[in-house]
Structure 1
Amino acid sequence: MRSQTKDASVVQCSKCGRRNRLPRATSGIPRCGVCHQPLPWVTEAGDDDFGEVVEAARIPVVVDFWAPWCGPCRMVSPALEQVAADLAGRLKLVKVNVDEAPRLSQRFAVQAVPTLVVIDQGRVLTQRSGAAPAPVLREWVDDALAA
């Protein structure tokens, strides 16, 4: 379970059920305040805070360039959130609405949505367009992180 505000999201720990507030950007890995298990980190970024939220992250980030009017984007979102949950503590998922972030769309040459980019310490590892099921996305992310 996840809810989003401007500066933070609230995530329920899958281990103990405790609700935890996660900032959009931080220097560490988010952990449950009660049981200390890693939490899935899913947040949003835009043109003005991408560097802070994505490029300064200490763990690899999957950036999901999406649009609210895009059917495949709505289909891939739960699959990406599942990958983020599976890799809690090792991966951050950041969603970028292309309609609200034209500079980022141009910078990453987004021609179709969804476009997914894996970034580690500010460096692009891989990029792909189109929706896919969670197992395919998990394999794609694992391959990118292993390279």
Structure 2
Amino acid sequence: MSDSLHIVCPHCTAVNRIPSARLGESPRCGKCHGELFTGHPVELDAAGFDKHVGRGDIPVLVDFWAPWCGPCKMMAPHFVQAAGQLEPRVRVAKVDTEAEQALGARFGIRSIPTLALFKGGREVARQAGAMGAADIVRWTQGHL
């Protein structure tokens, strides 16, 4: 890990350079002054997805889900809990596959919910099916 990391703002998608040692100090965006880590998943559209995965230096855990999906709704509060535990080492995000069908197709999402972990701009792990918070955290950390 270098001395500083590029962190994409969850509010305005500006790319911020943050010293590694300051990640745990609630850093704020230099552009919009919003918190860079909120402890909640970031809702991503295609442009936001590409920016977070392609420009950010921390891994991105994405929940591909849909509003009509029962297991997705059951997992949602567990995913929020996991976000609180994984940040700031991991950006936690959600992609609504109904609203962002092209993203779901691009990554061949066949069932939902599907978790995909991206590191260095590439997918490094994938898991289909609902999980509890502890399992999400353990699965994510096991692939980093």
**Shorter-chain-normalised TM-score: which range?**
0.7 to 0.9
Unaligned runs of 5+ in 1: 1-7, 10-21
For the residue of structure 2 that corresponds to 1:131, the secondary structure is coil
Question: Retained in 2: the 8 A contact 1:42–1:93?
Answer: yes
TM-score (norm 1): 0.73
**Aligned residue for 1:31?**
26
| Aligned residue type for 1:88 | E
Task: Say what the alpha-carbon RMSD is for the aligned residues.
Answer: 2.4
**Aligned residue for 1:142?**
141
Aligned residues: 123
Alpha-carbon distance in 2 for matches of 1:58, 1:90: 10
| Aligned residue type for 2:26 | R
Question: Retained in 2: the 8 A contact 1:40–1:92?
Answer: no
| Aligned residue type for 1:31 | S
Pair 1:96 & 2:95 matched: yes
TM-score (norm 2): 0.74
For the residue of structure 2 that corresponds to 1:110, the secondary structure is coil
Pair 1:107 & 2:106 matched: yes
1:1-147 equivalence runs, <5 A:
22-24=11-13, 26-27=15-16, 28=18, 29=23, 31=26, 39-40=38-39, 42-145=41-144
For the residue of structure 1 that corresponds to 2:143, the secondary structure is helix
For the residue of structure 2 that corresponds to 1:49, the secondary structure is helix
Question: Retained in 2: the 8 A contact 1:41–1:91?
Answer: no
Question: Retained in 2: the 8 A contact 1:65–1:97?
Answer: yes
Displacement after TM superposition at 1:80 (Å)? 1.4
Question: Retained in 1: the 8 A contact 2:60–2:93?
Answer: yes
Question: Retained in 2: the 8 A contact 1:47–1:102?
Answer: no
Report percent identity of matched pairs: 32
For the residue of structure 2 that corresponds to 1:139, the secondary structure is helix
For the residue of structure 1 that corresponds to 2:93, the secondary structure is strand
